[in-house]
Amino acid sequence: MVKGTARVTNTKGIHARPSAEIALFAKSVKSTIVLNYDGKTSNPINVLQTIVLEMFEGSEIEIVVTGEDEVEVLEKMKMLISKKYDFA
């Protein structure tokens, strides 16, 4: 298991479109991913669970990854959380 954090930089936070991109990635890996924010937890495979976290710009998100590709998955998840999406 590895843990890390990422700060949301997208102006409108992690809404439906970024959550969908995160879900596509989460479904493609072997590891299990959990996002924690403000006392709430999300399995990022589920778009709705990720939206419900209400991760707005400036939010610091804890990412927990468990599995054989955990190190690579953690780094990619950090990038996806902190990415500035073109569609805001």
Q: What are the sequence ranges of the domains in the chain? A: 2-82
Burial class for 84, CB neighbours closer than 10 Å (0-12, 13-18, 19+): exposed
Summarised one tens digit per residue, pLDDT across range 11-24 is 999 999 999 999 99
Summarised one tens digit per residue, pLDDT across range 26-80 is 999 999 999 999 999 999 999 999 999 999 999 999 999 999 999 999 999 999 9
3-state helix, strand, coil in the chain (%, to 5): 35, 25, 40
Please give the CATH topology (third level) of the domain spanning 2-82.
Histidine-containing Protein; Chain: A; (3.30.1340)
Q: At what angle do helices 70-82 and 16-28 cross, to 10 degrees?
A: 170
Burial class for 85, CB neighbours closer than 10 Å (0-12, 13-18, 19+): middle
